[in-house]
Structure 1
Amino acid sequence: MYPNHTPHAPAQRAVEVHQLTPITPAAVTPAPVVPVQPGTVPAVASVVLPDGRVVTGYAIDPARPEPVAAKPAVSRTAVNVALGGVGFLAVCGGLLLLTSFIAALTAFITQLIILAAVIFGGWIAVQIFSTHGGRGGGTTLNIRKAVFKRNKFYG
């Protein structure tokens, strides 16, 4: 506990006195008067509260919600799904054309390879089996009577 303090003795405190300072009201300016058309003045309503007090004032129209736009007959999701299906069909058609083009190109290349093999093979055959007349590269033998005796050739 505190020194020099007895629990049963009343505490000695300094008393402070506060004086209230009056607040002077500010100059009140009246609200501007808005001209109102004769037919638009709202009706005055009075309400009696449960404790007997009467409150009088202008009736306020309840806030009306904004009109909701009419929903379309078809939902946007359905339209998006339908457009996605149309796009998918267009892609599938393009892929079908692409595969047909690739198959045709493969067949064409195969036919070109076969044609080149036939032409090159024919050229090789002509080079092998032709007589080199006048080129000096080979010898021509004219065999009129050939004799074979005991697996030996006598010309």
Structure 2
Amino acid sequence: MYPEDTGRLPAERAVTIHQPVPLAPVQAAPLVPMQPAGVPAVASIVLPDGRVVTGYAINPMQPEPVAAKPAVSRTAVNIALGGIGFGAVCGGLVLLTAFVAALAAFIHQLIILAAVIFGGWIAVQVFSTSGTRGGTTVNIRKAVIKRNHFHG
């Protein structure tokens, strides 16, 4: 907030002073010289001309093992399995249609056989001359047909 906003001068504002508080001294733990696990030991090499080179021995970088790729891709295997399944289903459908056609032909033959047997039985009943049966016999000796009308 600026003094011109409140109408007061800077000297009229309340001032708060903060004194820093010192921190308690920390007791340092004794340092034990230790070789870290990730850092290799220091090595010195004497060159043929007598110079000494000191440094870390660095192991050469090993490439990360690459996952072995299968000889055939998964997509090709899935397509092949789908084709085998489709072929199996088609074979089953061919057998199913053959079965339905054979069943329809069998039913057709049964209907024809029933018609022949039943028709033969009716023909035997109609055309048989086995004796007299109970009923009325009408003998027509002379019939006169005039103008499309039968007179007996």
Q: TM-score range by the shorter chain?
A: 0.5 to 0.7
Please report the RMSD computed on the Cα atoms of aligned residues, expressed in angstroms.
4.2
CA contact (8 A) 1:132 1:138 kept: no
Worse-matched range after superposition: 19-28 or 95-104:
19-28
User: 1:18 aligned to 2:6?
Assistant: no
Q: 1:30, CA displacement in angstroms?
A: 6.2
Normalized against structure 1, the TM-score is what? 0.61
Query: Which aligned pairs between 1:4-153 and structure 2 lie closer than 5 A?
Result: 5=8, 10-25=10-25, 42-44=40-42, 66-133=64-131, 135-137=133-135, 139=137
Normalized against structure 2, the TM-score is what? 0.62
Can you give the 5+ residue segments of structure 2 that lack an aligned partner in the other structure? 44-55, 146-152
Counterpart CA distance in 2 for 1:128 and 1:34 is 125
Q: 1:127, CA displacement in angstroms?
A: 1.1
Q: 1:150, CA displacement in angstroms?
A: 7.9
Q: Look up the equivalent residue of 2:23 and give its one-letter code.
A: I
- Percent of paired sites with the same residue: 64
Counterpart CA distance in 2 for 1:73 and 1:14 is 83
> Which aligned runs of 4 or more in structure 1 are off by greater than 3 angstroms?
25-37, 58-66, 137-141, 147-151
Aligned equivalent of 1:50:
none
